Structure 1
């Protein structure tokens, strides 16, 4: 049976942008697995697989339905051991957990702070209403007041990336000699920004941008198949 990946989209269903969904799109390609995608706008997420959960990605593989990007990666690793490993070992799995925690506390808040209105403009009317209502309730202010791109904010973000930058100067991939799920975690965050916004916080000669370009080229250019904003 087909593997189905449910992905978050705006009004253009050919431009998935969720960082978590991108992790799994890349993981599936890494494993050499055939799959198809189902585009899901914000207001339809709760209906995926009969209301399976309230977030995507959701993966259906035959009778199995799995939600949460890390859980899906673990499922793929266990179910398809003949494909290229995503973690390599239990130590690699643990390191990927750390990378995910770091990315969600360092890169994701920054992308939100600079690109929230860009995401809003990508949505249809029903999703815009939902997005504004839920995000303004969470942040306690209008969307327009959340976004800020002042140089000090961008520079602070760049400094926070120094551990990543230093790692990529010592080795080609976050996972070491070959890409792994840790790379796809961080790639998903930068791909999120690339797909939704023209804002570029890092210089093109930054080691991180070199790594990101290599990620875009992986798996027959899977990341580049969706053009930048």
Structure 2
């Protein structure tokens, strides 16, 4: 059993103290979901092997009553296996598989373009000792100077919200990705927006984005775990003339978003597909 109901987690944070790593964010939520308190070891990108006594050069890492566990997915599985009497993070193997697919899609749709918009803040907000490492490693990753990577970001930012409609469609009929209560799927996806809030110097979603309800509730979980003062607002994106609509107004209609309970329930969509006037109810 975790000593004093606490689990030690090694943080990967910016100069503000806000966590930057989405994997560390997901792990913080996983620990809180299990009802444990966080014993946070602060730090940034530099000196991870020294901080962990040579156990790892990558984070997250936790220590549970003397036992080291590495990797965010392995940590979540460890917590479920070790503490089955506490709320479950991954209730079925299918949840892991589906979450990994959803997460991979979200990284491609959101983190990749947002990284090119905020990579300068990513560097500038890091601990001073980390600036050289972040600059060198990220410029090598992108093959360009950081100052060149962010060029044109005002044109890229409005293109991201429309790609997130899949999430809005799911949340239109579910309180959480875990159903009635959050599970590890929610934490993995919330971690993307927490990462973005750690580096964004301008909002990425409009004030009225339907995702706001889920994100706000997620940030408020566990005593406001996602409300660190070092995080920036992510709502308030101002659209320009010609920018695409950020989301489907009125929610998704028809197809997968509707339920077939008989001919009456599908009559309007059938009429639309045939080019006919929908029958009166």
TM above 0.5: yes
Shift of 1:142: 0.3
Q: Please state if 1:97 is matched with 2:97.
A: no
- Tell me the equivalent position of 2:118: 115
- Tell me the equivalent position of 2:15: 11
What are the ranges of 5 or more consecutive residues in structure 2 without an aligned counterpart?
233-281
Shift of 1:148: 4.4
Greater RCO (Cα-Cα under 8 Å, separation 6 or more): 1
Residue 15 to residue 222, structure 1, CA distance change in 2 (3 Å): same
**SS in structure 1 of the partner of residue 69 of structure 2:** strand
What are the ranges of 5 or more consecutive residues in structure 1 without an aligned counterpart?
none
8 Å CA contact retained: 2:117, 2:157:
no
Paired residue total? 228
Q: How does 1:126-145 map to 2 (within 5 A)?
A: 126-145=129-148
Shift of 1:124: 3.2
Structure 2 Cα separation of the partners of residues 3 and 213 of structure 1: 26
Superposed CA offset, 1:22-67 (max 9, x none): 1111111111012301112111123342222222111111232122
- Tell me the equivalent position of 2:160: 157
Q: CA RMSD in A?
A: 1.8
Structure 2 Cα separation of the partners of residues 190 and 149 of structure 1: 21
Shift of 1:130: 0.8
- Tell me the equivalent position of 1:204: 207
Residue 72 to residue 146, structure 1, CA distance change in 2 (3 Å): same
Structure 2 Cα separation of the partners of residues 120 and 151 of structure 1: 19
Bigger CA radius of gyration: 2
Of Structure 1 and Structure 2, the greater helix share is in: 1
Q: Please state if 1:193 is matched with 2:196.
A: yes
8 Å CA contact retained: 1:216, 1:223:
yes
- Tell me the equivalent position of 1:51: 54
Which piece of structure 1 moves more, 219-228 or 73-82? 219-228
TM-score, reference length from structure 1: 0.91
- Kindly report structure 1 stretches of 4+ aligned residues shifted beyond 3 Å: 148-152
Shift of 1:187: 0.8
**SS in structure 2 of the partner of residue 105 of structure 1:** helix
Structure 1 Cα separation of the partners of residues 48 and 148 of structure 2: 27
Structure 1 Cα separation of the partners of residues 37 and 129 of structure 2: 32
8 Å CA contact retained: 2:32, 2:222:
yes
